[in-house]
Chain A
């Protein structure tokens, strides 16, 4: 494969409302994952490990954190003179420009970036999936069949088909039809689209130009572009990816994908020297485990200090577990401190949270819990979320399905928080990372 023959658009702009407060201040691909990574690291590493060094990242919703993380692209060897990484923000300028109206529109508005490139194959990727995939076999498959477009697919359990775009195939791998998020029991196939599309360049350009003119279109690849191809008899192929792939767009799937890494059989090896997941490594000393500490089934990044107990947990750089504190089945992001005697169970704490001495946060799995009042659809399985830089006061008790918003202070804790409760941020305390848009303009879909 000659250099410059491929270009990848990485879609990283969506509003990840199902991740509740984890993605309220940052784009979903920038959400921390696995002890030292961000979700987007997996897709970016897939690109460079597959030999694709020309990547455009399409952002729209709160890109600040993502932009800081990517920087000049150095951790992925994407700070290059030829190619490299570009962050593509919505812009004004041409006649009908507006915020991106959908995934297809986002790519359409940025086609200018491939106009002067020689790339023949254009990959469209999603920035919020966890998987290690070499795109090269898919490119070969695509070229062998002279496909106009090839869609990567994976198998999903029948109980999850309602979350995916399902793909029906013939034995050669030709796509016969799509079912977008079918109701349980109505799926005609167990193959789901991974949101990884490989287009012949001229096909992509024509299809997007046409779609942009269609007032009835939602400008979405899965919903609009591919069904139109099938209706016209344009051949769409599907390439099966038989390894681990996880959409981490919901709190439960995000939590499970993290905790799987400390399970009996981690679904994939992060220490594989032949497929390094590249990320920004912080200048932090090794993990310090004190006398009287215990750590099992734990991933702990450099800069962690454990003087208490950690069981089945993921600890990001700078996490401190003080003596007598217990952390169980939890994900603690950068700089979270669990003070003396506190017990934390099934909790996801965002950066810089602080759990006061003797506090009790979260609790074991149970049936029939009250869903969260603020995120009743997404915070239902008993997890508890602690927002960025929030504090849980000394001795406070926080139940399950609870949400403690960013910047909550010690003084606000006058009573405990029952299951399903929410402690809202103090007024004025929401320094967001990135730009806040007026609510009406945030998403146009």
Chain B
């Protein structure tokens, strides 16, 4: 779709993800064994034939920048269009960070002008879903609306996290309650919009506040502009919180997952790492799990997602957990209901998470990148271990490995 430009908001800190977003922006978060969260939005763009994509970044963009590169995995390394990363920059007259979603768009107004697009999609980089944006744009064109908002049904108890909308029988938005305490409305905004490009540029020009919802969408609604809802029926999850992030990973383990990673017509593309096949050892026991190429399992893995390069040693157990790239779980260690960021070391016979009787069965233990759990140590359920810190101490990886076992594990 040559007339469409997509702008992906990928700059937020996503406090709800705790230590996982200390070293990276939420869209760069590993997901499902080999993907990053942003892959879903970028793959949607590719399959929808939108080849002009801008990523607005601000918080810890390094990991995202490396992942995107020139955009080749998504066929976005192009002469015309392609993917560009728009980081805040200094101007002669002023210099400030993006103060909000609408401000980020306004600061890049000339990029929108230069794209000469007819429609602008604004999407969030921390949602996982497979969607044909072509249908969304078609509905937008057919209705002649200024704004079309994609909406999905959410459970009533989650309505306080979303913009809840009321649609009339023509699917026109009649009411928009941003993060209401409670709501009788069932359709929630997915934070995915199509704007009429000319209208958007005028609105950004006259912006009075930094927020896309409060300072742009709600005033437009109040002014009587036509805003349409587009009802999306497929799987959609906002993984900007630990609970939803963990659940979305676990849902991939269902016999027929609602979110398909292997649909040949809509596959989720990512930067493939150069890793050998996954290796299962003599005494490995694996059930109901995803194990990425480059992982090595000599112990037990149940109901878990294991990324490339992670090594589960003989006699170690990983259950109901997500283990990112290159983690090492030593002999006899037990990890349950935990999320382990990249390069985490769990020493021999250590215990991570693993709620017992009388403990909160839903509590997640989360270990930050390069965290080290000493041999025999216990990390109770619900604990969050900081980046690079065994019990809050930051150790260089060489010392950490020595502390964990007495030798580097490879």
Residues of A within 8 A of B261 (CB): 285
Residues of B within 8 A of A291 (CB): 287-288
Inter-chain contact B290/A288, CB cutoff 8 Å: yes
Size bracket, chain B contacts: 35 or more
Contact partner of A286 among B255, B269, B291, B296, CB < 8 A?
B291
Residues of B within 8 A of A283 (CB): 73, 267-270, 272
Shortest distance between the CB of A39 and any CB in chain B (Å) = 15
Contact partner of A35 among B274, B277, B290, B307, CB < 8 A?
B277
Inter-chain contact A299/B279, CB cutoff 8 Å: yes
A276-B274, A283-B269, A297-B282 are contacts. A289–B32 as well, Cβ < 8 Å? no
Inter-chain contact B286/A301, CB cutoff 8 Å: no
Cα separation A296 to B283 with both chains bound (whole Å): 6
Look across to chain B and name the residue whose beta carbon is closest to the beta carbon of A314: B277
Cα separation A276 to B308 with both chains bound (whole Å): 14
Shortest distance between the CB of A259 and any CB in chain B (Å) = 13
Cα separation A248 to B290 with both chains bound (whole Å): 32
A34-B276, A285-B33, A285-B34 are contacts. A297–B290 as well, Cβ < 8 Å? no
Cα separation A102 to B285 with both chains bound (whole Å): 51
Inter-chain contact A271/B276, CB cutoff 8 Å: yes
Q: Which of B272, B278, B294 has the most CB of A within 10 A?
A: B278
Shortest distance between the CB of B88 and any CB in chain A (Å) = 33
Residues of B within 8 A of A36 (CB): 276-277, 293
Inter-chain contact A289/B272, CB cutoff 8 Å: no
Inter-chain contact A298/B267, CB cutoff 8 Å: no
Cα separation A414 to B34 with both chains bound (whole Å): 44
Inter-chain contact B294/A287, CB cutoff 8 Å: no
Contact partner of B281 among A35, A292, A297, CB < 8 A?
A297
A294 at the interface (CB under 8 A from B): yes
Shortest distance between the CB of B312 and any CB in chain A (Å) = 13
A276-B274, A281-B274 are contacts. A293–B262 as well, Cβ < 8 Å? no
Shortest distance between the CB of A310 and any CB in chain B (Å) = 8
Inter-chain contact A301/B280, CB cutoff 8 Å: no
Look across to chain A and name the residue whose beta carbon is closest to the beta carbon of B311: A271
Inter-chain contact A301/B278, CB cutoff 8 Å: yes
Shortest distance between the CB of B295 and any CB in chain A (Å) = 8
B309 at the interface (CB under 8 A from A): yes
Could you show 26 A-B contacts with beta carbons less than 8 Å apart? A36-B293, A270-B277, A271-B294, A279-B274, A281-B272, A283-B268, A283-B270, A285-B34, A285-B261, A285-B262, A286-B34, A286-B292, A286-B306, A288-B290, A289-B287, A289-B288, A290-B255, A290-B288, A292-B287, A294-B286, A295-B286, A296-B282, A300-B278, A302-B292, A303-B262, A310-B280
B247 at the interface (CB under 8 A from A): no
A277 at the interface (CB under 8 A from B): yes
Q: A285-B34, A286-B34, A300-B278 are in contact. List 13 more A-B contacts (CB 8 A).
A: A35-B277, A36-B293, A262-B279, A279-B274, A283-B73, A285-B32, A285-B290, A286-B292, A286-B293, A289-B289, A290-B288, A298-B280, A301-B278
A278-B274, A297-B281, A300-B280 are contacts. A286–B290 as well, Cβ < 8 Å? yes
Size bracket, chain A contacts: 35 or more
Residues of A within 8 A of B282 (CB): 296-297
Inter-chain contact B287/A284, CB cutoff 8 Å: no
Cα separation A404 to B224 with both chains bound (whole Å): 71
8 Å CB contacts to B: which residues of A34-69?
34-36
B275 at the interface (CB under 8 A from A): yes
Shortest distance between the CB of B313 and any CB in chain A (Å) = 15
Residues of A within 8 A of B269 (CB): 283
Residues of A within 8 A of B305 (CB): 286
Residues of B within 8 A of A271 (CB): 275-276, 294, 296, 309
B84 at the interface (CB under 8 A from A): no
Shortest distance between the CB of B76 and any CB in chain A (Å) = 14
Contact partner of A293 among B281, B287, B293, CB < 8 A?
B287
B284 at the interface (CB under 8 A from A): yes
Cα separation A304 to B262 with both chains bound (whole Å): 11
A294-B285, A296-B283, A297-B281 are contacts. A287–B290 as well, Cβ < 8 Å? yes
8 Å CB contacts to B: which residues of A303-323?
303-304, 310, 314-315
Q: Which 9 A-B pairs have the closest CB atoms?
A: A286-B33, A281-B272, A35-B277, A270-B276, A285-B261, A286-B292, A301-B277, A295-B280, A299-B277
Cα separation A34 to B293 with both chains bound (whole Å): 12
Residues of A within 8 A of B274 (CB): 75, 276, 278-279, 281
Residues of B within 8 A of A35 (CB): 276-277
Shortest distance between the CB of A375 and any CB in chain B (Å) = 28
Cα separation A315 to B287 with both chains bound (whole Å): 17
Residues of A within 8 A of B262 (CB): 284-285, 303
Look across to chain B and name the residue whose beta carbon is closest to the beta carbon of A279: B274
Look across to chain A and name the residue whose beta carbon is closest to the beta carbon of B34: A286
Look across to chain A and name the residue whose beta carbon is closest to the beta carbon of B284: A296
Inter-chain contact A289/B277, CB cutoff 8 Å: no
Cα separation A310 to B291 with both chains bound (whole Å): 15
Shortest distance between the CB of A196 and any CB in chain B (Å) = 24
Cα separation A34 to B277 with both chains bound (whole Å): 8
Cα separation A284 to B33 with both chains bound (whole Å): 11
Cα separation A303 to B296 with both chains bound (whole Å): 16
Cα separation A284 to B260 with both chains bound (whole Å): 11
Cα separation A126 to B137 with both chains bound (whole Å): 54
Contact partner of B280 among A75, A270, A296, CB < 8 A?
A296
